[in-house]
Every structure is written in C-alpha cells, then in structure tokens.
A and B are shown apart, each in its own frame.
Chain A
Amino acid sequence: MGYAGGRKPEPTYRSMGDHTETTQVDFNPALISYREILRHVWASHDPRRNHYSRQYQNAIFYSGEAQKAAALETMAGEQARLGREVKTVVAPLDRFWAAEHYHQKYYLRGHQPLLGEFSRLGYDDARFRESRVAARLNGLVSGFGTKAQLERELPEYGLSDPGVMYLRNVIAEGSGATCG
C-alpha cells in the first residue's frame, strides 16, 4: 500500500497532498501477465464513474512502454464495451511512496500469532512489507487462495508448528481461504 499520482514529496496518510491511495504488487510475468492483472483491475471497479476525491480515485499507473500500451488498449476495450467514456485515470507512474507500516498487510495484522512468526524471524517493517509470505498470508486469511494451494506452499512459508496450526485453524473456520 502507498501513495502515487501526486507531486507532494514524502506523503503520509495524514498529509497525502494530491496523491491517491495506491496498491503496488510485485508479480512474475512468467506466471501472470500484466494484462491479466489489468483484467482484474477493470473488473474490480465501475469505470463509468470515479471518486471526486483524488485520495480515493480509481487509477492505473503504468510503468514503461509495454505497460502503457496494455493499459491504453484495455481502457479502449472498456470504453467500447461500455459505450461511454471511461473515468478511470490511466497515467504514467512517477513514483510510488510506500505507506506507513501499519497500513501494510491489513488483514494479516488481525492475526497476532502469524505476525509473531515474522518477529521471531527478525523481520523489520520494510522486510515485512516486501515479504511474499506476508502477502500470501494476507490473502489467505482474507479469503483468497485455496486450501490446496495452502497445503502445497505451506512448507515454504517457514512457519513454526504453532503458526502452522493457527493458520490451518483460520482456514478451517472459514474466515480464510475458500475451498478447493
């Protein structure tokens, strides 16, 4: 989580200036394409309208010519599909400013036993923010991913036995990953 799209240097939640609350995800293009990610982005909001506040506006911030082409092409596709102007902002990314640490991995922060795993392993705030395991656990505890995926990847997470038990319980109770 962070801030982008504005000009104010070093924005914070309480002093965001002209920035927008923004998500930045790392991905491996061998596993998922930028266009596939865009497909999810377009499907996750109503492009026919946008928020009046820059803080909450819908936006795609592209980096580089390939992302620009994909973003503009998919925007044109949305316009054709909807038959009207797309209000979603599509603009080049100038700079992404990471938000304060307490905004990172929001759902995972509700699970202290799992947070404790990262403390045990000596993670600081920046490493926690960039951790693929933290990103995965954040998704799992908020209902994304599958039990099969969990069991397949569990050995790679590096969790303690109590941590594994806790995570399995969260999933089994149904507040976490969906069946599959």
Chain B
Amino acid sequence: MRMIAEARQEQERQGLPLDLHAPTRVETATFALG
C-alpha cells in the first residue's frame, strides 16, 4: 500500500483535510422516505 502512503504524504503537503473520520457537522437535512 505504498501508493496510499504516498498519496497521504502528498495531501499533507498540500494541506488538504486528511481525516474523513472527524465529524464535520456543517448542516443537516432531515427527511423520511417510507
């Protein structure tokens, strides 16, 4: 998985958000589809 490690390093260099795991509750949409 070297490619993934390299991609991660590239993202770190570019300063992009890395962690999709971090909750980023910006806005919510709430609906029901029965």
Contact = CB atoms under 8 A, between A and B. Distances in A.
Given A29-B26, A156-B11, A22 B31 contact: yes
Interface residues of B, number: 23
A45 interface: yes
Interface stretch (A59-67, A103-111, A172-180): A59-67
Q: Is the interface of A mostly helix, strand, loop or mixed?
A: mixed
A34 B29 contact: yes
Nearest to B34: A56
B23 interface: yes
Interface string A94-125: 00100000000000000000000000010000
A63 B20 contact: no
B22 to A, nearest CB: 8
Q: Which 9 pairs show the lowest CB-CB distances between chains A and B?
A: A56-B34, A155-B7, A59-B32, A61-B30, A51-B34, A22-B32, A24-B30, A20-B32, A155-B4
